[in-house]
Structure 1
Amino acid sequence: MNKIREDSPEYLEKKRFFDSLMTVYGRKTVLEALQDSSTFIYRLHLAKSNKTASILDEIIELAKSKGAEIVFHDRQALSRISKNANQDQGVAADLQLRGYALYDEFLSKSHSQKNYTLLALDGVQNPQNLGMIIRSACAGNIDGILLPQKGNAQIDPLVIKASAGTVFRAPLLRCKDLAHALIDFKKNGALVCALSSHATKELKKFSPDAPCIYVLGNESEGISTEIFNLCNEKICIPMNNGVESLNVAVTAALIAFK
């Protein structure tokens, strides 16, 4: 059998497709995802050891109606797919979501948008915070969320619950490395903004005349030094009554509805 070269167009196209998929797990989570009309399911993964249950019957019927491939695995193989053997409940699904894409795809289309506003997440590790950020971005005036593959909370049932299901239609832009992605955006004319208590520009008075990316940092340590040094704007949210900072999800909501 001929092996596909890793630099061949065929391989790269296939890799981009699989990189565009989001894997979710857990019976209720998968069921809710399949009930959303906007989701396309590529493959449903089930444990061979699953016992008969009405929720599994419903999941299988929905997956079939959406044209999904259904694959049965032993428990060890399924745990490698879900990456959470303790909580997958014998079910995982590979989904292709309408707002879930690689960041360079957004960049290639951004020339048609004069200005856009993105959030970039640099080490947001609390699943509830991530879910609430996604919910605010989806409801507000945010065109995308730059979400690195590592360093942030992963999309799991807690994130999906905190997002109130908006994760299935939110504009999530995946990147392997946030610094590299931000450099690419800057090369294409975007401003990269850090929220800093030491800044003199106030968020409510900041009206950029170019595409803008607001970076949200880790819950305890804030924005990493590497990412902070890439930012070409520093913005503050004035605080009263001795309050030093806001929860990262609250900050995201203020930006989304600015």
Structure 2
Amino acid sequence: MAFYKKSTNNYQSKKNIIVGRNPVMEALKGGVNIDKILLFKNASGDVIQSIRHQAKQLNIPVQPVPQEKLNQLTNTNHQGVIAYKSAVTYQDLQQVIDMIVGNGEVPQLLMLDGVTDVRNIGAIARSALCTGTQAIIIPDKGVGALGEDAVKSSAGALEQIHICRVGSLLKAVEELQLNGISIFTSEMNASKKLYELDLTLPCCFVMGSEDTGVQSYISKAATDKYAIPMAGDFDSLNVSVAAGITLYEAMKQKLQRQGS
């Protein structure tokens, strides 16, 4: 595991980052897809303020970090600023919903809440694409970076599915429900089983982190909750496996309805 982390950081330092105040500012102005910006916590000055303002306008998260963190990523003069390039293009949630409906399709979306491992995100994206899921919704903070490593893990699926980055998952839930899209969350003790839900209707599945699950305020706002049936006492599924099971059940129901 240590070797994996080391190689990933080295790769990011050479391929995935933009270093320095003016280069980052120019990248923001030039429309370069930025995943997040690391900013020395004591950084100041006009350019820093401009970076903060531009990032806020573009819904790009800015993370204050100590000098040591930046020094680990590059040997060049970073001037307190490093930006991670994103390998995907983020889209507006409402515009994506409108496009799906305009194409005559039934919305089926996936929301990631606290999923940080890029290999899990890549695997989830592959299952999503294979099951006809049109979009993945992620928060601007608390999710794994969608750089080249994530795209490779997804076998390119992240480049073929709509990715919507939002400032608030709760507001995204409200927006989805206003558009007639049901929100389903997975919980071990839910009274309904996955197959008991009508997944042929417009819906969005929320997949939480493996250690803490879906955040409580998202769970409370959900339309319904479901449990994935288990044959034995083992109660832990990898999040990408749980996503795959859920999405394939939704696809199965749609195929059965088409064939009936």
Instruction: Please state which band the TM-score falls in when normalised by the shorter chain.
Output: 0.5 to 0.7
CA offsets per residue over residues 172-230 of structure 1, 9 Å max, x none? Answer: 12211111011011111111001111123222342245310111011101011110011
CA offsets per residue over residues 110-139 of structure 1, 9 Å max, x none? Answer: 443452111111111122111111121122
Report the number of matched residues.
Answer: 185
Q: SS state of the match for residue 237, structure 1? A: coil
Q: 1:101 and 2:101 equivalent? A: no
Match of 2:47 in 1: none
Q: SS state of the match for residue 80, structure 1? A: strand
For structure 1, the 5+ residue unaligned runs are: 1-23, 31-40, 46-73, 83-91
Tell me how large the CA RMSD over aligned residues is.
Answer: 2.9
Q: SS state of the match for residue 122, structure 2? A: helix
Question: Residue 76 of structure 1: which of 78, 85, 89 is its match?
Answer: 78
Residues 121, 220 of structure 1: alpha-carbon distance in 2 compared, 3 angstrom cutoff: same
TM-score (norm 2): 0.62
Is the Cα–Cα contact under 8 Å of residues 108 and 133 in structure 2 kept in the other structure? Answer: yes
Q: SS state of the match for residue 109, structure 2? A: strand
Match of 1:246 in 2: 237
Residues 95, 241 of structure 1: alpha-carbon distance in 2 compared, 3 angstrom cutoff: closer
Question: Residue 222 of structure 1: which of 200, 213, 217 is its match?
Answer: 213
CA offsets per residue over residues 5-56 of structure 1, 9 Å max, x none? Answer: xxxxxxxxxxxxxxxxxxx9566779xxxxxxxxxx96599xxxxxxxxxxx
1:77-92 paired onto structure 2 within 5 Å = 80-82=82-84
For structure 2, the 5+ residue unaligned runs are: 1-10, 18-29, 35-75, 250-260
Structure with the bigger percentage of helix: 2
Q: 1:125 and 2:127 equivalent? A: no
Identity %, equivalent residues: 25
Q: 1:195 and 2:186 equivalent? A: yes
Counterparts of 2:81 and 2:154, CA distance in 1: 24
Residues 168, 79 of structure 1: alpha-carbon distance in 2 compared, 3 angstrom cutoff: farther
Match of 2:65 in 1: none
Is the Cα–Cα contact under 8 Å of residues 108 and 203 in structure 2 kept in the other structure? Answer: yes
Q: SS state of the match for residue 211, structure 2? A: coil
Counterparts of 2:202 and 2:172, CA distance in 1: 14
Question: Residue 170 of structure 1: which of 158, 161, 176 is its match?
Answer: 161
Counterparts of 1:206 and 1:28, CA distance in 2: 44
Counterparts of 2:81 and 2:126, CA distance in 1: 28
Counterparts of 1:104 and 1:25, CA distance in 2: 32
Residues 43, 147 of structure 1: alpha-carbon distance in 2 compared, 3 angstrom cutoff: closer
Residues 170, 78 of structure 1: alpha-carbon distance in 2 compared, 3 angstrom cutoff: farther
Counterparts of 1:44 and 1:185, CA distance in 2: 25
Runs of 4+ in 1 over 6 A off after TM superposition: none
Is the Cα–Cα contact under 8 Å of residues 138 and 171 in structure 1 kept in the other structure? Answer: no
Instruction: Give the CA deviation at 1:108.
Output: 3.0
